[in-house]
Amino acid sequence: MKINRRKILSLLGASPALLAGATAEAQQAKAKTAKAAKAAAGPAKLEALNPRGIPPPITLIPMAPRLSTLENKTVYLVSDGFPSADLFLNQISVWFKKNMPSVTTVYRLKAGGYGDDDPKLRAEIKDKGNAVIMAIGH
C-alpha cells in the first residue's frame, strides 16, 4: 500500500511545504560539505588572458643627422591636414623668404592622418629635400 505523505500531513494540520523544506536543507548541507572539501584541497587555480593582447616589438629609428646650416637648402613644409595648418606653414614660408632668402620652401599635404605613412611624399623629401617642418594638429 502506498502512503500519500501530503494527505497525511494535511490531516495532521501540517503544511506539505515541510517536505520541500527538508529537501532544501539537505541540499544546502550537501553544498556546504562540497565547499568545505574544495577548500581543504587548496586554492583554486585560475588562468586569465590579457585583453590587451601582446604588443608588437618596437623598432627604434634614429633621428636624421642635424644640418650645420639651412643656407641654400630645401625645407619641406608638410601638413597633416589639420585645419589652419596650411596658414601656419605659409607664415613660416614668408619668414624664410624675408630672413633667409637662399632657403627654398616647398609646401606639401601629407596623405592620411598623422600616424599614417605616405611613402610617395617620404621618397620625394628624401630625394629633393634637406629638412622637414611638419605641422601636426592635435
Residue 65 pLDDT level (bands cut at 50, 70, 90):
confident
Q: How far is 42 from 31, CA to CA, in rounded Å?
A: 17
CB 138 within 8 A of CB 75: no
**Residue 1 confidence (pLDDT):** 62
**Residue 134 confidence (pLDDT):** 92
**pLDDT, mean over the chain:** 83
Q: Dihedral (C-alpha) 95, 107, 129, 138: value to the nearest 10 degrees?
A: 90
Q: Which residues of 111-137 are buried (b: 16+ CB within 10 A; e: fewer)?
A: eeeeeeebeebeeebeeebbbbeebee
Q: Which three cell numbers stand for residue 101?
A: 632668402
Is the pLDDT at 21 greater than 60? The verdict is no
Section 84-113 average pLDDT = 95
Query: How many residues in total does the chain contain?
Result: 138
Q: Is the pTM of this model over 0.75?
A: no
Is the pLDDT at 38 greater than 60? The verdict is yes
CB 70 within 8 A of CB 132: no
